[in-house]
Structure 1
Amino acid sequence: MEASPLGSVDKALLALDALASFGAAGAPLGTLAEAVGVSKPTLHRTLAALRHRGYAEQTADGAYRLGPSALALSNAYLAEENLPALLHPALTALSEAVDELVHLGVLAGREVVYLDKVEPQRAVRVWSAVGRRRPAATTALGRALLSVQELDEAALERVAGDVPLARLREVLAEARRSGVAGETEENEPGIACIAVPLVRAGRAVAAVSVTAPVERLRGAARTERVRALRDTLPALLPAGLTVPGAGMPSAGAPVPRA
């Protein structure tokens, strides 16, 4: 491995990596020094600098762990306004892999906001556009996002809108089971959509969908596009984001229709 151009900075970065690997419980100085490959006095000075800026903190029993400034960095990196630029290469690669329309969306109350859209070479005429909103309960993107949230009865009623509660419970349960949310002609005649949530530390950050004519989201064609969302997409995502259940056997059965 090529030597770092600035050793002191490199030690601080290695210390952050080590702190992250030990999680919320942290680790004592000696354990961290061994993990980083430096002496305890050297690492102690590095940790003192990290603590000064809030990137490390010390627990009551003397262990060191990541501080709030490190978490703030990751939150800023994955902020909603940064997501289109961060994820556009992944969306483009996914669209090319399946030759279908791909969307990126986030929750905004009871609605989904479309942040990005990648068109395939073969045109698909749909109503979507960057900046537009749709009810979360009727879209694959919204259902994917809702499926990884803990919603009590009141919250479920708020997001359901015109969708019967029993129907919404059904599609969210199916999304949790299969790892993929979907809708068929619930927003546009002849158009179907499947989507997966993108999560960080168990929290949904956004969702990605594949939209196509109904005939291309049935049977073997649907299974192929589900596989692309669950197996191809995760490897394209920025560090820290993942698709729940990625790498598990893909479920290709259609989501029940209303």
Structure 2
Amino acid sequence: MDASPLGSVDKALLALDTLAGFGAAGAPLATLAQAVGVSKPTLHRTLAALRHRGYAEQAPDGAYRLGPAALALGGTYLAEENLPALLHPALTALSEEVDELVHLGVLAGREVVYLDKVEPQRAVRVWSAVGRRRAAATTALGRALLSVQELDDAALARFAGDDTTPRRLRAALADARTSGVAGETEENEPGIACVAVPLLRAGRAVAAVSITAPVERLRGAARAERVGALRKVLPSLLPAGLGVPGAAG
């Protein structure tokens, strides 16, 4: 590896990487210095600078750990307003792989908001458009997002609303949790079906991606092929820190 053009910055970045590796418990100065490969006085100065900006903090027992400013970076980077630009290349690659319509959506109350949309070469006429909303309970995107939440009976009833029944929604979410993929068939538009996966950060869904196609292209082997593309294409193109759930069994 080439030498860093600015050694002090490189030491600070190495210190952050090392702190992240020790998690919430942190580590004492001597342990960190050994892991980073610098002397304790050198690392102490680096940590003092990081603490000054909130990127590191010292626990009552003396251990150092990541500070709130470092933890906030990931949230800012993956904020809703940044997701379309960050994820558009992944959506485009997925659409090209299956030649189907691909959507990106996030949860807003009881609804899914469409943040981005990539059209295939073969046109598929559907209601969706960037900025539009649809009930989360009846969409593959919404079910993917809800499948990673713990919903009690009251929450299930609230999300179901007048669009479906709590029992039907519970069954759809259970299936999504088991398979890692949510789906819906002709619940929003005749002849149209969708499959979707949540995009996870530290176990929490920050968005979901779906494939929308005519029903005949989301049945049997054709559905399995498109679900496979969701799992194969997306992970390698997602920003660091985002992933998709794996299938059970």
Q: Is the shorter-chain TM-score for this pair beyond 0.5, marking a shared fold?
A: yes
CA contact (8 A) 2:102 2:119 kept: yes
Query: Matched residue of 1:238: which SS?
Result: coil
- 1:65-98 per-residue CA deviation (whole Å, 9 max, x = no partner) reads 1100011111111110000000001111111111
Partner residue in 1 for 2:76: 76
Cα distance in 2 between the residues matched to 1:34 and 1:117: 48
Report the CA distance shift for 1:151/1:249 in structure 2 as closer, same or farther (over 3 A).
Answer: closer
Cα distance in 1 between the residues matched to 2:156 and 2:99: 34
Count of aligned pairs: 248
Structure 1 stretches of at least 4 aligned residues deviating more than 3 Å after TM superposition: none
Give the alignment's TM-score, normalised by structure 1: 0.94
What does 1:44-193 align with in structure 2 at a 5 Å threshold? 44-162=44-162, 163-193=164-194
Could you tell me which amino acid in structure 2 is paired with residue 164 of structure 1?
T
Q: Is residue 227 from structure 1 mapped to residue 232 from structure 2 by the alignment?
A: no
Cα distance in 2 between the residues matched to 1:91 and 1:33: 42
Partner residue in 1 for 2:15: 15
Query: Matched residue of 2:3: which SS?
Result: coil
Could you tell me which amino acid in structure 1 is paired with residue 100 of structure 2?
E
Q: Is residue 36 from structure 1 mapped to residue 36 from structure 2 by the alignment?
A: yes
Structure 1 residue 182: Cα displacement = 0.2
Could you tell me which amino acid in structure 1 is paired with residue 242 of structure 2?
L
Structure 1 residue 29: Cα displacement = 1.3
Where structure 2 has 5 or more consecutive residues not aligned to the other structure, the ranges are none
Partner residue in 2 for 1:239: 240
Query: Matched residue of 2:113: which SS?
Result: strand
Structure 1 residue 39: Cα displacement = 1.3
Structure 1 residue 232: Cα displacement = 2.1
Query: Matched residue of 1:22: which SS?
Result: helix
- 1:138-183 per-residue CA deviation (whole Å, 9 max, x = no partner) reads 0000000000011122111111112111100000000000000000
Structure 1 residue 231: Cα displacement = 2.6
Give the alignment's TM-score, normalised by structure 2: 0.97
Where structure 1 has 5 or more consecutive residues not aligned to the other structure, the ranges are 251-258
Could you tell me which amino acid in structure 2 is paired with residue 198 of structure 1?
L
Partner residue in 2 for 1:196: 197
Structure 1 residue 249: Cα displacement = 6.5
- 1:195-246 per-residue CA deviation (whole Å, 9 max, x = no partner) reads 000011111100000001111111111111111112321111000111122x
CA RMSD of aligned residues (A): 1.1
Cα distance in 1 between the residues matched to 2:230 and 2:145: 14
Could you tell me which amino acid in structure 1 is paired with residue 151 of structure 2?
L
Partner residue in 2 for 1:254: none
Could you tell me which amino acid in structure 2 is paired with residue 148 of structure 1?
V
Query: Matched residue of 1:11: which SS?
Result: helix
